[in-house]
Structure 1
Amino acid sequence: MVMRRILVTGQGGQLAAALATALPPRGFEAITTGRPAFDFDAPASVGAAVATARPDAVVNCAAWTAVDAAEDNEPAAFRANALGPGLVAAACAASGIPLIQISTDYVFDGAKGAPYVESDSPNPLSAYGRTKLAGEWSALAGNPQTLVLRTAWVYAAAGHNFLRTMLRLGAERPELRVVADQHGAPTAAPDLADAIAAILSRIRYDGWHDSHRGVFHATGSGTTTWHGFAEAIFGSTGLHPVLTAITTADFPTRACRPADGRLDCSRLDRTFGIRLPPWREGLARVLHARLAA
């Protein structure tokens, strides 16, 4: 299968930026697009952007990611997270090309008590989770060559994320209160981008197979809590604020988060031979990139 040009949506986001770096070393041309040329609030722009780019595959990173704000503006989040992927899928189907749709652990309620596999029934607790789940469905329904990649706790050296928030607050305050009863897997955007590039490489060399269609989980290996993640961040920097462990109830937010969003990533390994590095290695990679910037 000849596959060279990859259209990456969500230009300016941390995953799109990481893909722009990860794809060329594997022989791909990364074409990034975002507003205003590609805008889910202007539906015609979606098909036009795909037609103009003439890609061999699309990775849709564009999304409404403001989790709490989605509670107050679910229609806008639905346009971006649910209707938008359907538009992308239709454009991909018209061109006969694969789509990788990015999704989230927030499609689950976190009550399983064990890592979720792809066949577990979703039960989102928030508007963000509901709209992202609807986006999975619309992407899968709109294009037979769709692969949904659920991930979690994504962060990078730039952008709005937990790592950068901790570093900023750690420089401003002597003590930080961090939630310690939510469990998940920090996922470095460069590691996730490398995994996506590897998936595309397999599809390029092996062709598209029915086993590629559907939902896959992809997070950093191993798990921790937000408090544990913060401890690792400050253990790798010159900042030493006092970290106090608190509960979710001590830090109420507009949107309800899954208490245990751990994802089992075995299917990705079985199908593509891909497993993301341990999350602590991802953290070291991102901190090194931040210092080098």
Structure 2
Amino acid sequence: MTLRLFVTGATGQVATALTEAGPRRGLTVTAIGRPDLDLETADADAVTRLIEASGADVVVSAAAYTAVDRAESEPDRAFRINRDGAAAVARAAARLGLPLLHLSTDYVFDGSKPEPYRESDPTAPLGVYGRSKRDGELAVLEAHPSALVLRTAWVYGPTGANFLRTMLRLAGERERLRVVDDQIGNPTSALDIAEALIDLALKATAPADTPAIGAGAPKRVQSPAMGGIFHMTAAGETSWCGFARAIMAGSAARGARAVPVDAIGTADYPTPARRPANSRLDCSRLAEHWAVRLPDWRHGLGTVLDRLLPPLSSKETRSPS
């Protein structure tokens, strides 16, 4: 039987990647966004009707208010979407007895820890966006205790507004780029997130007699013991400046324009919202419980760049780097 996913946020990076990856892996994906589903105003009854109509087996809550800086001046809207809207989706999935995969963020932490964050570390968001997502996590798990809340970070992909696409655009407009070098994290491709979500959906709906997913792991997400918070990012780490330099190197290797990237400090690039200096997430719990691991961020970057800047053929002459 074909597994059917219901995904919120039709035009988001992850929803778009799921819509593409799902059929390739034998899944049916229904991605719903505005105006059919507006998380700012939707209630659980409306979401329940949409999920039922889709015939979904698993719900993926990927829609969110992600404008980090604008959230500082629109806090009510950020909370309506990231807390109240997420809770409505969770209540609907719980009513229907469906597994729920809810995406969250590294911005629930303040970045003061010197090591990568684990799920058990206390949250202390620095801004409205992070607070709205943290409150969303709590609301989701209250409404659907067996939901998987998946924190990811520094998401980018071949579609939508993201850091990688911004760097490529600016490289076409400027002779040099200046990028913050004192914030570190795990750049994570939306394409890799989509593949991991599909893996989790398949595992969460496996028959009850399926062998254990990981060492000592329960077998089904429907059990509250299997729910909770998990970190899910690409392996490896870098700074925003290191990420930008890798993007430029990849662009040059594909015969596209690349410019030098100068390292600056956070203080040299003030923004309305504060960012955590350390966004690294420890993803070992996801690997232990679900046997799901995302590839290294450099691999994900190469895959996305190949989509945006196809490599030159061996007969073509590459531009000097």
TM-score bracket, shorter-length normalisation: over 0.9
Separation of aligned partners in 1, 2:146 and 2:98 = 7
Work out the number of aligned pairs and report it.
Answer: 292
Give the equivalent residue in structure 2 for 1:149.
150
Query: Structure 1 residue 101: deviation in Å?
Result: 0.6
Query: Contact between 2:145 and 2:228, CA under 8 Å: does it hold in 1?
Result: no
Give the equivalent residue in structure 2 for 1:18.
17
Give the equivalent residue in structure 2 for 1:70.
71
The one-letter code of the counterpart of 2:275 is R
Query: Contact between 1:10 and 1:63, CA under 8 Å: does it hold in 2?
Result: yes
The one-letter code of the counterpart of 1:27 is G
Separation of aligned partners in 2, 1:29 and 1:266 = 29
Give the equivalent residue in structure 2 for 1:284.
302
Give the equivalent residue in structure 2 for 1:102.
103
Larger Rg, first or second structure (1 or 2) = 2
Q: Deviations over 1:231-259 (max 9, x none)?
A: 10000113231211000000000001000
Separation of aligned partners in 2, 1:230 and 1:107 = 24
Task: Report the identity percentage.
Answer: 48
Query: Structure 1 residue 201: deviation in Å?
Result: 1.2
Separation of aligned partners in 1, 2:107 and 2:204 = 27
Query: Contact between 1:3 and 1:56, CA under 8 Å: does it hold in 2?
Result: no
Q: Deviations over 1:27-55 (max 9, x none)?
A: 32111100111112332442332232231
Structure 1 runs of 4+ aligned residues shifted over 4 Å read none
Query: Contact between 2:48 and 2:96, CA under 8 Å: does it hold in 1?
Result: no
Q: How does 1:33-182 map to 2 (within 5 A)?
A: 33-44=32-43, 45-182=46-183
Describe the SS at the equivalent of 1:275.
coil
Describe the SS at the equivalent of 1:100.
strand
The structure with the greater share of residues assigned to helix is 1
Give the equivalent residue in structure 2 for 1:234.
248
The one-letter code of the counterpart of 2:243 is F
Task: Name structure 1 gaps, 5 residues minimum.
Answer: none
Query: Contact between 1:182 and 1:260, CA under 8 Å: does it hold in 2?
Result: yes
Separation of aligned partners in 1, 2:290 and 2:147 = 15
Separation of aligned partners in 2, 1:25 and 1:243 = 37
Separation of aligned partners in 1, 2:195 and 2:241 = 27
Query: Contact between 2:110 and 2:276, CA under 8 Å: does it hold in 1?
Result: yes
The one-letter code of the counterpart of 1:160 is A
The one-letter code of the counterpart of 2:284 is S
Query: Contact between 1:103 and 1:151, CA under 8 Å: does it hold in 2?
Result: yes
- State which of 226, 229, 236 in structure 2 corresponds to 1:212: 226
Q: Deviations over 1:131-155 (max 9, x none)?
A: 0001101110001320000000000
Taking structure 1 as the reference length, the TM-score comes to: 0.96
Describe the SS at the equivalent of 1:240.
coil
Describe the SS at the equivalent of 2:251.
coil
Give the equivalent residue in structure 2 for 1:262.
280
Task: Name structure 2 gaps, 5 residues minimum.
Answer: 211-219, 311-321
Taking structure 2 as the reference length, the TM-score comes to: 0.88
Query: Structure 1 residue 93: deviation in Å?
Result: 1.0
Query: Structure 1 residue 64: deviation in Å?
Result: 0.3
Give the equivalent residue in structure 2 for 1:223.
237
Give the equivalent residue in structure 1 for 2:315.
none
- State which of 240, 243, 247 in structure 1 corresponds to 2:265: 247
The one-letter code of the counterpart of 2:241 is H
Q: Deviations over 1:75-106 (max 9, x none)?
A: 00000000011100110111011111100000
Separation of aligned partners in 2, 1:64 and 1:41 = 9
Separation of aligned partners in 1, 2:50 and 2:272 = 34
Query: Contact between 2:93 and 2:100, CA under 8 Å: does it hold in 1?
Result: yes
